[in-house]
């Protein structure tokens, strides 16, 4: 399995499932289109990452399953990506303080013939939305969190799986989506191509399953 993302959090989620991905980050233009919604944006970017990664297929005697994702935070009609610095992180946290926002992830999964580059002949995509409610943040808590450095590589300027858990009052929907990879939605896409995620995970002894060894390229 190839993960078309440089996010250490997405790779960590797969590893916790017993899957060791071949990490191949894809660089795409993430400019928001005129009038483009957050949900349309993330699904478009995930599909673009999938295609970019498929242009240089990894060597394998088997077809290769490629997964790609993109996540943003949307609050009051504003789309929040990763902060550009300290002031931007503080601005994002002030926007989120005491409010409900949406975390939206676009997913794209493709099954690629190992002998061909370009867009995978079999590919599917979807988007997942989780609603998150923030506590009202005081200055001390905001300064402390920004000072940890945790905010700077995460959409919306926080990471719920780390110190950012102190900022969150409530989560409605997929928790793993807030981290960056909604595993149930991803599994549904993989199943639609005939390869559910558990086939890539290790068996009871941690070794790759026979199906994974005989099937889609790792």
Which residues are catalytically annotated?
Answer: 70
Place of tokens 């402390």: 144
Q: CA quadruple 132, 87, 81, 23: dihedral positive or negative? A: negative
What distances in angstroms separate CA 15 from CA 1, 3, 11, 183, one per listed residue? 12, 12, 6, 12
What distances in angstroms separate CA 30 from CA 82, 146, 162, one per listed residue? 11, 24, 25
Please list, in sequence order, all residues whose beta carbon lies within 8 angstroms of the beta carbon of residue 209, skipping any fewer than 6 positions away. 199, 200, 201, 202, 203
Q: Which two tokens stand for residue 72?
A: 């943003």
């Amino acid at each position: 399995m190839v993960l078309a993302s440089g996010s250490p959090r997405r790779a960590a989620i797969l590893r916790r499932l017993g899957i060791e991905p071949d990490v191949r980050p894809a660089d795409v233009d993430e400019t928001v289109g005129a009038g483009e919604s957050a949900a349309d944006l993330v699904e478009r970017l995930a599909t673009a990452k999938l295609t970019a990664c498929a242009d240089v297929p990894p060597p394998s005697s088997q077809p290769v399953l490629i997964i790609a994702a993109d996540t943003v935070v949307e609050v009051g009609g504003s789309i929040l990506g990763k902060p550009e610095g300290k002031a931007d992180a503080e601005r994002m946290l002030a926007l989120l303080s005491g409010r409900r926002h949406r975390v939206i992830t676009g997913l794209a999964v493709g099954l690629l013939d190992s002998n061909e580059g370009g867009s995978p002949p079999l590919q599917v995509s979807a988007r997942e939305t989780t609603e998150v409610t923030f506590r009202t943040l005081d200055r001390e808590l905001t300064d402390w969190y920004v000072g940890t450095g945790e905010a700077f590589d995460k959409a919306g300027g926080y990471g719920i799986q780390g110190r950012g858990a102190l900022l969150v009052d409530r989560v409605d929907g997929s928790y793993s989506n807030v981290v960056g990879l909604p595993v149930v939605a991803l599994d549904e896409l993989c199943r639609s191509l005939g390869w559910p995620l558990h086939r890539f995970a290790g068996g009871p002894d941690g070794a790759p399953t026979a199906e994974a060894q005989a099937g889609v390229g790792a």
